[in-house]
């Protein structure tokens, strides 16, 4: 009995050892075979899939094959999208060289009788799940698609990652916080990497134009640190700030005041905008109130060959009875509309006009057009214009063409006065003596010049 018991236990132990051995061999086989990285595509693609998978610096490969069109004559079209995950266990240089070799292999993939497009992406690690108000999805810590020079593009991405970036693509890097963003920006500028930068919470974002400017980086970081600022974004030569408070509040006014008192980068004109919640209203201006030359008003230059009228600061201002108003024929070009108003001095002494005329617009029913915005041309300063007797001054109007396809109420009459409160003069636009209408509708935006003697490019009556 004792012998049989001992023999039975030994048999059980042998079976257990054999079973464990079999399971071990199966496990090793699965690791080598790795059925979860199988290739479900035509044979040439799968053969290259295996070649790429075997490279030292490659951790894994995924290829998605899609038939785009089937053509019995030409064989049709298809695409192969390759995601090549680089190994983190190798030196960066090894991973980069393996990626370059992989790209050469996959771009050389040919499927007989099929027009094949190969697309590739080189990534690192497991994609992170990012979920914010702005975006949701999975993002690799490094993701590069070949554009011009894959080796250089990967080298840049690895260097930015090693410099502390959380996530890197061909043209962007994500930093943990504004301090890291500034440090990575300095590193990128030093190496000539002109990438967009943003913080992980997406509160601060900087896009170079075209190269990184550290003063502009500092500006957007400082703006993002202001109280009640939700986001501060720099791009397209403009700083955009989104406020957590309404545009009419003290808090938003403080943001705008900071922008208008702050010295702009390099003391050069830089535009800003401040948007309120829901982007219901956007306030715009220039940082430090430093304007570009094009917006600094200057006296209107006279057309060549025009002799300037005599200046007399003591001249009396024109009254309604001193001038006769007329309209030019309306003109149009490239979606813009043009119209001049003439003021002829019909008195027996010189009289002066200055500033912008008061204008109102009426439809055929005699109703005023509503929400029409008339703004002064910011490039022309409102100089005193002394009109000699019998001479004609002018003011010019420009607006964008408005759609009349739904037969809206167009402007058929204007009323003009030298100053608000004075008796207006009614004017009807005409073309070759026949009354016409203007596509100035409700909501129109019109830019008007101050009174001038003459203006280059604009004609005056003979």
Residue 342's pLDDT is 97
List the one residue out of 87, 88, 89, 29 whose CA is nearest residue 55.
87
Residue 422's pLDDT is 86
Q: Residue 31: what are its φ and ψ, rounded to 5°?
A: -65, -45
Helix axes 150-162, 178-191, angle to 10 degrees: 140
pLDDT above 60 for 96: yes
The mean predicted confidence, pLDDT, of the chain is 89
Residue 24's pLDDT is 36
Residue 294's pLDDT is 81
User: Residues of CATH 2.60.40 domain(s) within the chain?
Assistant: 320-448
pLDDT tens for residues 123-146? 998 888 777 666 677 899 999 999
User: Residues of CATH 3.30.300.20 domain(s) within the chain?
Assistant: 37-124
Question: 37-124, which class in CATH?
Answer: alpha beta
> 301, 295 in Cβ contact below 8 A?
no
| Chain position carrying tokens 């399971």 | 23
| 3-state percent breakdown (helix, strand, coil) of the chain, nearest 5 | 25, 30, 40
SS (H, E, C) 91-160: CHHHHHHHHHHHHHHHHCCCCCCCEEEEEEEEEECCCEEEECCCCEEEECCEEECCCCCHHHHHHHHHHH
Q: Per mean pLDDT, which range of 34-38, 88-92, 116-120, 226-230 is the poorest?
A: 34-38
Residue 3's pLDDT is 31
**Beta-strand (E) ranges in 50-94?**
58-69, 77-86
Q: Per mean pLDDT, which range of 14-23, 83-92, 402-411, 449-458 is the poorest?
A: 14-23
pLDDT above 70 for 9: no
pLDDT tens for residues 442-461? 999 999 999 999 999 999 98
> 402, 414 in Cβ contact below 8 A?
no
pLDDT above 60 for 384: yes
Tally the C-alpha atoms within 13 A of residue 410's C-alpha that lie toward its C-beta.
15
Q: Which residue has better confidence, 406 or 441? A: 441
pLDDT tens for residues 12-59? 344 433 333 433 333 333 333 343 357 889 999 999 999 999 999 999
Question: 320-448, which class in CATH?
Answer: mainly beta
pLDDT above 50 for 418: yes
pLDDT tens for residues 146-176? 999 999 999 999 999 999 999 999 999 999 9
Residue 2's pLDDT is 34
Judged by DSSP in three states, 63 sits in strand
State the Cα–Cα distance between residues 232 and 179, nearest whole angstrom: 15
Residue 75's pLDDT is 66
Average pLDDT over residues 306-311: 94
């Amino acid at each position: 009995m004792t012998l049989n018991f001992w023999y039975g236990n030994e048999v059980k132990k042998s079976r257990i050892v054999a079973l464990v051995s079999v399971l071990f061999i199966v496990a090793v086989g699965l690791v080598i075979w790795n059925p979860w990285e199988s290739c479900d595509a035509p044979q040439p693609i799968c053969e290259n899939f295996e070649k790429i998978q075997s490279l030292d610096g490659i951790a894994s490969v995924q290829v998605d094959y899609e038939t785009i069109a089937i053509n019995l004559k030409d064989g049709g079209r298809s695409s192969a999208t390759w995601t090549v995950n680089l190994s983190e266990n190798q030196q960066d240089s090894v991973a980069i060289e393996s990626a370059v070799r992989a790209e050469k292999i996959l771009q050389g993939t040919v499927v007989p009788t099929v027009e094949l497009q190969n697309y590739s992406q080189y990534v690192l690690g497991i994609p992170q799940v990012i979920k914010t108000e702005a975006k949701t999805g999975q993002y690799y810590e490094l993701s590069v698609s070949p554009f011009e020079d894959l080796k250089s593009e990967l080298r840049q991405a690895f260097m930015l990652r090693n410099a502390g970036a959380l996530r890197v693509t061909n043209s962007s890097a994500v930093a943990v916080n504004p301090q890291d963003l500034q440090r990575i920006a300095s590193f990128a500028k030093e190496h000539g990497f002109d990438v967009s930068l943003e913080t992980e919470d997406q509160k601060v974002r900087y896009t170079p134009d075209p190269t990184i400017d550290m003063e502009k980086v500092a500006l957007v970081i400082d703006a993002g640190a202001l109280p009640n600022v939700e986001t501060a974004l720099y791009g397209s030569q403009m700083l955009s700030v989104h406020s957590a408070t309404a545009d009419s509040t003290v808090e938003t006014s403080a943001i705008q005041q900071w922008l208008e008192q702050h010295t702009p980068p390099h003391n050069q004109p830089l535009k800003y905008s401040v948007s309120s919640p829901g982007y219901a209203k956007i306030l715009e201006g220039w940082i430090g109130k430093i304007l570009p030359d094009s917006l600094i008003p200057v006296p209107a230059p006279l057309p060549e060959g025009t002799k300037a009228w005599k200046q007399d600061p003591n001249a009396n201002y024109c009254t309604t009875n001193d001038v006769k108003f007329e309209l030019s024929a309306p003109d149009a070009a490239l979606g813009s509309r043009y119209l001049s108003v003439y003021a002829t001095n019909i008195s027996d002494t010189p009289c002066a006009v200055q500033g912008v005329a008061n204008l109102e617009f009426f439809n055929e029913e005699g109703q005023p057009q509503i929400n029409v915005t008339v703004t002064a041309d910011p490039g022309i300063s409102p100089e005193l214009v002394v009109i000699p007797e019998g001479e004609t001054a002018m003011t010019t109007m420009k607006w964008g063409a408005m759609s009349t396809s739904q037969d809206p109420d167009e402007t058929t009459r204007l009323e003009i006065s030298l100053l608000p409160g004075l008796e207006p003069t009614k004017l009807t636009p005409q073309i070759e003596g026949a009354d016409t209408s203007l596509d100035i509708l409700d909501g129109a935006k019109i830019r008007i010049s101050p009174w001038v003697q003459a203006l280059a490019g604009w004609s005056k009556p003979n």
